[in-house]
Structure 1
């Protein structure tokens, strides 16, 4: 039987889960990609499970189920999803030209909710590779995510930096879930025993990442640089749960996106039906 193909976001935000993930035993093939690649791979059946953009789940929800209690979320600043501007606030960008990274789905559409629903704007969007210098030649503001956003924060002074997790929280008071762990339905229907084992490994990895953050921080420093204090604060601001608080924010995000015509209005959040005893801790 073929190994289960597990996507892995190629950003440091996922390290608290994957640094301790045990891919031995049950045959697992880890496939690192940026979020937009994982979204396409899941939709095309090239990936069996993995952390995809929460927006991509909503676009394809009849074909996916979610692993319980796994997400990338934030209640306030997320620390790696930034809109870079020339000194302007969000309210001053209602009719601006905005460069969007081509590596994201959830963040791009979150920005549209913020600007179009909450600010009543109608910006002109252009999608580009994640290079801040080139993006700002073409636009009044630029959206970057993940490691691209962190590196731009470190190396490009002079811009105002708006954190989209913080902006969402200002408007709603809610958590924002940027990624969820999705499983293709045909895999859930045919390989439940293996999925249950993989799920347990994810939960063990998440707990170990929470208990032992220093090796994760050292790995992030090895990959990108930066200081220990930066990474400590960064990971403290991220939440990897998918519980009532995160689901409330996620449902609200889906509702606003549907009101703008970005999603259908009937998105269902369906959890993997795990054997007894393997649910949320």
Structure 2
């Protein structure tokens, strides 16, 4: 029987997925985060790199690989709130339907600040939605990265990514992962590779993913060069963006995931992870 994988193939997972060669007996489909969340929960795929909040919400039935994540410590550059008023003055915020994770993170950050603007579903680029009357727009993924650079760029030979401003053309960009770090001091875990309990991926797929990750991280300049052309962004921007990510799931990442779970999904079931490399097959590590 074919083991079915579902990949959210944004640029941020290119170091894992670009060079991944599926072993025999494994197929794959791609989609945006909410599509892959639904595909896994409905059983259309057997494993997916789903948003961490959906993993938390469905912790009673899902388990995750113990050493894979899409995490970041500090700014992420591609999960942004574009706004024309200070956060404390926000009235109407447009939310993308592509990502449950980013919406949940925004809700936590607003709640921690004691803010409660009206949140509405609306699709479109940030500047268009701001011009339509929203004073805040949540954008994610490759489009958010391009729009962020369009507001705060350009990068010159004398500037770095970290020295770019947080505002331009009357628009402020609040990086939600950076806001999380300022709030908690922890990394933020955007995604994990989850599967239904009792149906773990075959060892060949896990091995292929680890091989692809080593290859991608070892050739990050090549990955950045390839994706910069597709994104229409300078190579320096894309390379900094990619080397900012944490693709494992280490103790600091688990600590951040635990804190987010407590803030976003109180009363969630215990989070379960499969055995680490070299562990006995029957071992399970709760978080």
TM range, smaller chain: 0.7 to 0.9
Distance 2:203 2:270 in 1: 22
Distance 1:90 1:57 in 2: 29
**What residue in structure 2 maps to residue 212 of structure 1?**
219
**Residue number in structure 1 paired with 2:10:** 11
Instruction: Report deviation, 1:162.
Output: 0.8
- Unaligned segments of structure 1, at least 5 residues: 189-193, 258-262
1:1-281 to structure 2, matched below 5 A, reads 1=1, 3-23=2-22, 25-86=23-84, 88-93=85-90, 96-116=91-111, 118-136=112-130, 137-155=132-150, 158=169, 159-188=171-200, 195-257=202-264, 263-273=265-275, 276=278
RMSD, aligned α-carbons: 1.9
- Indicate the SS of the match to 1:187: coil
Instruction: Kindly state the Cα deviation for residue 15 of structure 1 after the two structures are TM-superposed.
Output: 0.3
TM-score, normalising length: structure 2: 0.86
Q: Give the CA deviation at 1:124.
A: 0.6
Per-residue deviation, 1:6: 1.0
- Tell me the CA shift for residue 63 of structure 1: 1.7
Contact in 2 for aligned 1:103/1:130 (Cα 8 Å): no
- Return the TM-score normalized by structure 1: 0.88
Q: CA 1:237/1:92 → structure 2, altered by over 3 Å: closer, same or farther? A: farther
Instruction: Quote how far apart the aligned CAs of 1:222 are.
Output: 3.0
Query: Shift of residue 171 of structure 1?
Result: 1.0
Q: How many residues align?
A: 263
Aligned with 2:268: secondary structure? Answer: coil
Residue 99 (structure 1) shift: 0.7
Q: Tell me the distance in 1 between the aligned counterparts of 2:89 and 2:182.
A: 16
**CA distance in 2: counterparts of 1:278 and 1:239, whole angstroms:** 25
Deviation at 1:277, TM superposition (A): 5.5
For residues 18 and 212 of structure 1, the distance between their equivalents in structure 2, rounded to whole angstroms, comes to 13
Structure 2, unpaired ranges of 5+: 152-167, 282-287
Deviations, residues 192-244 of structure 1 (Å, cap 9, x unaligned): xx522211111121122111112211221232121111011101211111110
> Closer, same or farther in 2 for the Cα pair 1:103/1:215, shift >3 Å?
same
Higher mean displacement: 225-234 or 263-272: 263-272
CA drift at 1:138: 4.1
**Number of the residue aligned with 2:284:** none
Flag as ranges the 4+ runs of structure 1 deviating above 6 A. none
- Give the SS at the match of 1:61: coil
Are the equivalent residues in 1 in contact too, given 2:48–2:195 (CA < 8 A)? Answer: yes
- Output one character per residue of 1:146-186: Cα deviation in whole Å (capped at 9) or x when no partner: 01201222445521111111011111111100111101224
More helix per residue: 1
Deviation at 1:267, TM superposition (A): 2.8
